[in-house]
Structure 1
Amino acid sequence: MGLLIKAAIGALVVVLIGLLSKTKNYYIAGLVPLFPTFALIAHYIVGTERSLEALRTTILFGIWAVIPYLVYLISLYFLLGVLRLPLALLAGVACWTAAAWLLIQGWNRWHGQG
């Protein structure tokens, strides 16, 4: 049942994005996916199953995790000038993946976990 509710919420978010994209304030559609739905879930789980210090570490990593998203947005902004939309999106995701991998490697090295 929980999976069905999550799927329904996901579908509602997609509908909301679609509706917002048709308004004069279409750019707000880019804000909707950034609502911290999954962050709330992750923080609750870590906060209840681990220590508060582990939660603080998770939050700190989340702050740094904004960097791959910025890499995605910046690369997509420029790639749209030279590639068709599907290829630009794919290349943007590749840039996000590379930035996320670098972030994880750097985090593990900095925090002695790798």
Structure 2
Amino acid sequence: MGLVIKAALGALVVLLIGVLAKTKNYYIAGLIPLFPTFALIAHYIVASERGIEALRATIIFSMWSIIPYFVYLVSLWYFTGMMRLPAAFVGSV
């Protein structure tokens, strides 16, 4: 049953992103994945199955993921100014 709830939550987030992308405040859709919805689920699962020490290690690892995400955003911003969108996506990954 827990898997169904997690899948439903993920589907709701995707729908929210789709709806917000069509509004005049479309840029908010880019912020939705940054909210800790999925992180909360992942952290709860790690803590309940592996313990607090594993959770703390996961948190440190997650902090380091901010750096490549920032690099991705900077490169996507740069490439969208000089390439077509599909090429910009490929170039920024």
TM-score between both structures, scaled by the size of structure 1: 0.68
Instruction: Give RMSD over aligned pairs.
Output: 2.0
Name stretches of at least 5 consecutive residues in structure 2 with no aligned partner. Answer: none
User: How far apart, in 2, do the equivalents of 1:85 and 1:13 lie?
Assistant: 24
1:2 positional shift: 5.3
| Counterpart check, 1:64 vs 2:64 | yes
The 1:50/1:74 distance shift into structure 2, 3 A limit, reads same
What is aligned with 1:42?
42
Residues 1:90 and 1:56: Cα distance change in structure 2 (over 3 Å): same
2: distance between equivalents of 1:64 and 1:90?
23
Report percent identity of matched pairs.
Answer: 69
Taking structure 2 as the reference length, what is the TM-score of the superposition?
Answer: 0.81
Return structure 1 stretches of 4+ with deviation > 6 angstroms: none
**Structure 1 counterpart of 2:18:** 18
| Alpha carbons of structure 1 residues 15 and 56: separation in structure 2 relative to 1, 3 Å | same
In structure 2, what is the Cα distance between the partners aligned to 1:87 and 1:2? 39
CA distance in 1, matches of 2:38, 2:60: 15
Distance across 2 between alignment mates of 1:18 and 1:64 = 28
Q: CA deviation at 1:10?
A: 3.2
Change in CA separation of 1:82 and 1:38 when aligned onto 2, cut-off 3 Å = same
